[in-house]
Every structure is written in structure tokens, then in C-alpha cells.
């Protein structure tokens, strides 16, 4: 697979840069630039009437893309927002009143949720139980065991951002969750590895977005909203009134589908880019399974060439022998910060979470980039 020509603008912007952080900020295909301009042109052509286009064919196309890639039965269960934190707040706002909601989660959740829930916990507004995310192999079993105590909200990542471990058996967690609201953070899984939510679509919320593997940049995150669950979030914007059903008791009305989780006015250009990115993948005939296999093949080539670099595959948080992993490798290192700085000085883009140095792999790379990466790392060791 060699799709580098389709990323010409990002790659040509800094030809000496070796970008190995697809898990953080994925380069955008050239097709998204045309979509960005189309969003501008639609605004100029339509003025305020652009919202009929944005909330009509553009939104509906994006809903269809997400539903197809997640195997959802109904695209109308997909809502969009500028970031996943917006959805965190709306979900929290729909939890029971009168006592601190009981929350079950892991210690490996991304900041959009982890920081917010920790801040509420400081003031006694929520009661949080955290299950260790490592080792990943039995994390779901431990979550299921803990869930029996009864919770209002269960929040877990499908792929942990700090290690790359991919959880399996989420259907088992849904069964153990009881009446709790179940939310799966799929940001490191969506468009990185095949996801099939058909068995969970009626039960679990699922959130992800375009910033990483969907190759669409900022501003186009989504939430799959199971029908009949959390129908009246207290954090609600006026877009949630589009198509709202009138309440017989005079209360605030909500859209009957995922529109109940919409916010207010937003920059729609992210939706244009997401639509373009997904259409481009269809046009070139690349599936998510192929993307995942390509990333894993590059990972294997990288690890096979690490002799003499100072990096040891034995330090991987999730080893290559474990197929349940995402599209990045996380090295657990005492000197991870120093490593990242040396790599950056050599024109190699990686990122770090604490002592975990992460290398991400994507479809804008070939074996050639991996060999160039290994050559530069060896030079660092020689220097």
C-alpha cells in the first residue's frame, strides 16, 4: 500500500519530517483541503441558509459514514460535536440527581473524561471507582466484577491511549453493567481497527472523532446514542430543538433521535473534511481492515530493525505477539522524555504519555519511511 501521493500537501510541507504520530494528529489527505474550501464557498454562496445544507446532506452523509464503519443499524443515532468533552458533559448532565452519581471507569482513560470526572470527584459531586487498565488482558473481567456493585455510569476505552491495548468482550461488560449508562471511548479504535457495534448498538454509547485515524482534523467528533437512553440531557443547546417533540407538560422538548445530544452553533468545516476523508477511502478502495493490517506490518518491520538503536521491543507496553492492540506502539522507558526530545531534534515526530513513548503508523507511510526512521535512530545512538 502506497498512498503517499494522496497526502502530498501535508508531506511536502516539511519534506525532512518523519511523522510517526498518526495516533495523535494524523495527516489529512489532499481531498480534505478541497472540502475545507467547499465549506467556505458554501458559506459565501448560501449565507445563513448554509445550515440547511450542513444539517441536511453534509450531516446525513457523515452519519452514514460513521454508521457504516461501526455497523450501526440506524445512522440517525449519531450526533456530532466539536469535541468529545462536549459529550462528556452532556452525558454527565443526564445522570440522576439527589446523590453523587456512582461512576465505574479505568485509570487509563483520556483527559476529556478523566480530568473532568476527577474535578467533580474533588468536590464530592461524583463517587468514582477506578479499575487498573493494566494488564489489559483481564481488564474487562475486572470491570465486570466491579460492575456488580451497581453504578450509574460505566466509562471505558476500547483501545487504551497510553498502551494501545484493545479490549475485547465489550458485550460481556454490557451485560454486567445492569442499568448503568455504558459509554465506550473509541477514539483509538475508530478507523484504526475494525469495529462492529451491531450487538451493542441498543445498549452502549460510543464516542470518537476525526482528529486521529479518520484523517479529518479537529471539530468533528461524534456520539452514537442508543435509542431510549438519556433522553433529556440537562446540558442542552438550541440545536437539540431541531425536530423536537413538544412536551405535553410544557417542559423543554428534545429531538427524538441523536439530535437530543446536539449543542449549539459550531464550525461545520470539520464535517466537510470528515465526509471528504471517508469518501476518499471509498474511492481508493481501502478498508479499515487493510489500514489496520498495514499499520501492524509497519510495526513489525520497525521492531525487527531496532538492533543497535537503543530501543528494545522488550519494553513495549503491549508486545507484537499480542494481536489485541491498536495502530501505535508504546515503549515504557525511564527516559521517555529524553528520547522524545532527541527524536524531535532529528526531525522525528512522536509523542509521549508520561514514561510511555509512542510511535504511530498509518497509510501515509511505507516501508521506506520505516527504514528512514530506523536509520535516523541509529545515528542518534552513534552520536
Q: Are 161 and 187 within 8 A, CB to CB?
A: yes
Q: Is 312 left (phi over 0), alpha (psi -120 to 50) or beta?
A: beta
Q: pLDDT averaged over the chain? A: 96
Measured at the CA of 382, the angle between CA 377 and CA 383, to 5 degrees, comes to 95
Q: Over pLDDT 90: what percentage of the chain? A: 95
What pTM does this model have?
Answer: 0.96
pLDDT tens column, 97-120: 999 999 999 999 999 999 999 999
Cα separation, 6 vs 148, in Å, equals 49
Cα separation, 134 vs 118, in Å, equals 20
* Whether pLDDT at 382 is above 70: no
Cα 67 to its chain centre, rounded Å, is 15
Q: What is the DSSP string of 276-301?
A: HHHHHHHHHT--HHHHHHHHHHHHHH
Residue with cell 510511555: 356
Q: What is the pLDDT of residue 198?
A: 97
pLDDT tens column, 122-134: 999 999 999 999 9
pLDDT tens column, 162-218: 999 999 999 999 999 999 999 999 999 999 999 999 999 999 999 999 999 999 999
* Whether pLDDT at 248 is above 90: no
* Whether pLDDT at 289 is above 90: yes
Q: What is the pLDDT of residue 226?
A: 97
Domains by residue range for the chain, with CATH: 4-20+287-382 (3.90.1150.10), 32-281 (3.40.640.10)
Give the pLDDT band (50/70/90) at residue 246.
Answer: low
Q: What is the pLDDT of residue 316?
A: 98
Q: What is the DSSP string of 32-48?
A: HHHHHHHHHHHHHHHGG
* Whether pLDDT at 52 is above 70: yes
Q: Are 89 and 261 within 8 A, CB to CB?
A: no
Q: What is the pLDDT of residue 144?
A: 98
SS (H, E, C) the chain: CCCHHHHHHHHHCCCCCEECCCCCCCCCCCHHHHHHHHHHHHHHHHHHHHHHHHHHHHHHHHHHHHHHHHCCCCHHHEEEECCHHHHHHHHHHCCCCCCCCEEEEECCCCHHHHHHHHHHHHCCCCEEEEECCCCHHHHHHHHHHHHCCCCCEEEEECECCCCCEECCCHHHHHHHCCCCEEEEECCCCCCCCCCCCCCCCCCEEEEEECCCCCCCCCCCEEEECCCCCCCCCCCCCHHHHCCCCCCCCCCCCCCCCHHHHCCCCCCCHHHHHHHHHHHHHHHHCCCHHHHHHHHHHHHHHHHHCCCCCCCCHHHECCCCCCCCECCEEEEECCCHHHHHHHHHHCCEECEEECCEEEEECCCCCCHHHHHHHHHHHHHHHHC
Cα separation, 276 vs 149, in Å, equals 45
Cα separation, 32 vs 272, in Å, equals 8
Q: What is the pLDDT averaged over residues 240-268?
A: 86
Pairing assessment for the beta strands 78-81 and 221-224 based on DSSP bridges: antiparallel
**Quick one: cell of 129?**
471507582
Give the pLDDT band (50/70/90) at residue 247.
Answer: low
Q: What is the pLDDT of residue 251?
A: 85
Give the pLDDT band (50/70/90) at residue 381.
Answer: confident
Residue with cell 474487562: 140
Q: What is the pLDDT averaged over residues 52-56?
A: 96
**Quick one: cell of 287?**
478498508
pLDDT tens column, 255-269: 989 999 999 999 999
Amino acid at each position: 500500500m502506497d498512498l503517499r501521493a494522496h497526502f502530498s500537501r501535508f508531506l511536502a510541507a516539511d519534506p525532512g519530517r518523519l511523522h510517526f504520530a498518526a495516533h495523535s494528529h494524523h495527516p489529512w489527505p489532499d481531498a480534505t483541503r478541497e472540502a475545507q474550501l467547499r465549506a467556505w464557498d458554501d458559506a459565501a454562496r448560501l449565507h445563513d441558509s448554509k445550515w440547511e445544507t450542513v444539517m441536511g446532506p453534509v450531516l446525513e452523509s457523515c452519519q452514514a459514514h460513521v454508521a457504516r464503519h461501526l455497523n450501526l443499524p440506524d445512522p440517525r443515532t449519531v450526533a456530532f460535536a466539536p469535541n468529545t468533552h462536549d459529550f462528556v458533559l452532556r452525558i454527565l448532565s443526564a445522570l440522576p440527581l439527589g446523590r453523587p452519581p456512582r461512576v465505574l471507569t479505568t485509570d487509563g482513560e483520556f483527559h476529556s473524561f478523566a480530568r473532568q470526572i476527577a474535578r467533580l470527584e474533588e468536590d464530592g459531586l461524583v463517587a468514582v471507582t477506578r479499575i487498573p487498565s493494566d494488564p489489559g488482558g483481564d481488564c474487562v473481567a475486572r470491570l465486570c466484577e466491579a460492575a456488580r456493585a451497581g453504578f450509574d455510569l460505566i466509562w471505558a476505552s476500547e483501545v487504551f491511549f497510553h498502551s494501545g491495548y484493545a479490549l475485547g468482550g465489550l458485550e460481556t461488560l454490557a451485560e454486567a453493567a445492569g442499568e448503568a449508562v455504558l459509554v465506550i471511548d473509541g477514539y483509538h479504535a475508530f478507523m484504526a481497527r475494525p469495529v462492529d457495534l451491531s450487538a451493542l448498538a441498543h445498549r452502549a454509547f460510543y464516542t470518537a472523532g476525526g482528529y486521529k485515524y479518520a484523517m479529518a482534523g479537529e471539530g468533528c467528533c461524534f456520539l452514537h446514542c442508543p435509542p431510549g437512553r438519556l433522553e433529556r440531557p440537562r446540558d442542552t443547546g438550541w440545536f437539540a430543538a431541531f425536530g423536537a417533540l413538544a412536551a405535553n407538560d410544557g417542559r423543554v422538548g428534545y429531538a427524538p433521535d441523536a439530535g437530543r445530544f446536539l449543542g449549539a452553533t459550531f464550525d461545520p468545516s470539520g464535517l466537510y473534511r470528515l465526509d471528504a476523508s471517508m469518501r476518499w477511502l471509498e474511492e481508493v478502495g481501502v478498508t479499515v481492515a487493510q489500514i489496520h493490517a498495514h499499520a501492524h506490518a509497519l510495526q513489525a518491520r520497525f521492531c525487527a530493525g531496532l538492533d543497535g538503536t537503543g530501543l528494545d521491543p522488550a519494553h513495549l507496553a503491549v508486545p507484537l505477539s499480542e494481536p489485541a492492540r491498536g495502530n501505535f506502539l508504546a515503549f515504557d522507558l525511564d527516559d521517555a522524555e529524553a528520547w522524545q526530545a532527541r527524536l524531535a531534534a532529528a526531525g522525528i515526530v512522536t509523542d509521549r504519555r508520561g514514561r510511555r513513548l509512542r510511535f504511530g503508523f498509518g497509510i501515509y507511510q511505507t516501508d521506506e519511511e520505516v527504514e528512514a526512521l530506523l536509520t535516523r535512530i541509529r545515528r542518534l545512538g552513534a552520536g
